[in-house]
């Protein structure tokens, strides 16, 4: 039986940034087609001679100027055959965690994107296509991963206050925590080191800075260590 198929493969990037106790999502404004002037995720079609990861890395760099070390595959979106009004498109979505303060947004002139901008996740504009569904799926995955992998450290600076780590978890998981038990749990893992540096805080006494010990975490992981944070 002859196979008749006219399906295009695309990639989309959900880039989360965390700054000042707030989670952001990187979006681009379209300048062509039916979605002109609409906001959407950075992304585009996969070229014939490139892999999916090469495609999503290229699209992200071209449309936003952002390069990341690691993008994790999230999900494939294509059950809705009318998700793109132009033609049948199946999109493979990837997500990443970055520190926005270390990035400069820049859009290459000959892309579909007019500009790139960070939006607070609770203040997203109307999005083109099914990109709100994609972001919701990525946010759910992010919250889930926070409870069993120490990915939260990717959203903090190299050195951080313990209170900043607490704020990150309460903000992203949208739950209150028992601060004493949380501190005891994290310190008990032995995967963060207290430095000799003191940071000034707006209220209260100065506090010590901490840093994530990734080498120690990898050693523990190889020995069967299971990172897990539970909330009531």
Please report the pLDDT score of residue 201 as a whole number.
Answer: 66
- pLDDT value at residue 42: 96
More reliable by pLDDT, 4 or 132: 132
Quick one: what percent of the chain has pLDDT higher than 70? 96
Task: Report pLDDT for 77.
Answer: 95
Beta strands in 104-167 (DSSP E): 113-120, 160-161
Q: pLDDT tier at 231 (50, 70, 90 boundaries)?
A: low
pLDDT tens digits for range 10-42: 999 999 999 888 999 999 999 887 878 899 999
What pLDDT band is residue 203 in, cutting at 50, 70 and 90? low
Please give the structure tokens belonging to residue 97.
């965690």
- Separation CA 39–CA 117 (nearest Å): 9
Angle between helix 162-173 and 131-146 (nearest 10): 130
The Cα–Cα gap between 165 and 175 comes to 14
Angle at 89 between CA 85 and CA 95, to 5 degrees: 115
Cβ atoms 89, 4 nearer than 8 A: no
Which contiguous run of DSSP H or E holds residue 58? helix 52-64
Residue 168: which residues within 8 A CB-CB, separation 6 or more?
18, 21, 152, 155, 156
For the chain, give every residue range classified as CATH 1.10.10.10. 151-222
Question: What does the alpha-carbon distance between residue 22 and residue 171 come to, in Å, rounded to a whole number?
Answer: 7
Longest CA pairwise span in the chain (Å): 75
pLDDT in tens, 102-121: 888 987 767 888 899 999 99
| pLDDT for the residue numbered 90 | 93
- The reply to whether CATH 2.40.10.10 applies to domain 8-146 is no
d(CA 102, CA 121): 19
Write down the pLDDT at residue 132: 96
Comma-separated ranges of CATH 3.90.79.10 domains in the chain:
8-146
Q: What is the structure's pLDDT at 176?
A: 81
Check residue 204 and give left, alpha or beta (phi > 0: left; psi -120 to 50: alpha).
Answer: left
Burial 49-70 (b: 16+ CB within 10 A, else e): eeebeebbbbbbbbbbebebee
Q: What's the pLDDT band for 74 if we cut at 50, 70, 90?
A: very high
Instruction: Give the mean pLDDT of 59-65.
Output: 94
Higher-confidence position of 66 and 224 = 66
Note the pLDDT of residue 232.
57
| Model confidence band, residue 202 (pLDDT cutoffs 50, 70, 90) | low
pLDDT at residue 69, rounded to an integer: 82
- Mean residue pLDDT of the chain comes to 88
CATH no. of 151-222? 1.10.10.10
């Amino acid at each position: 039986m002859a196979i008749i198929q006219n399906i295009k493969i695309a990639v989309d990037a959900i880039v989360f940034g965390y700054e000042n106790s707030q989670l952001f999502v990187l979006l681009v404004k379209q300048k062509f087609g039916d979605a002109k002037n609409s906001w959407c995720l950075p992304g585009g079609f996969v070229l014939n001679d490139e892999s999916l990861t090469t495609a999503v890395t290229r699209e992200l760099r071209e449309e936003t100027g952002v390069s990341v070390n690691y993008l994790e595959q999230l999900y494939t979106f294509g059950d809705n055959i009318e998700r793109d009004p132009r033609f049948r498109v199946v999109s493979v979505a990837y997500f990443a965690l970055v520190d926005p303060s270390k990035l400069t947004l820049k859009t290459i002139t000959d892309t579909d994107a007019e500009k790139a901008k960070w939006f607070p996740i609770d203040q997203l504009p109307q999005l083109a296509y099914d990109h709100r569904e994609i972001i919701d799926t990525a946010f759910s995955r992010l919250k889930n991963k926070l409870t069993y992998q120490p990915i939260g450290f990717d959203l903090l600076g190299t050195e951080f206050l313990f209170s900043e780590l607490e704020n990150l978890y309460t903000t992203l998981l949208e739950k209150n925590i028992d601060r004493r038990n949380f501190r005891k749990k994290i310190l008990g893992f032995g995967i963060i080191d207290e430095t000799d540096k003191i940071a000034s805080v707006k209220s209260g006494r100065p506090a010590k800075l901490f840093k994530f010990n990734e080498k120690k975490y990898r050693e523990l992981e190889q020995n069967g260590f299971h990172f897990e944070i539970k909330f009531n």
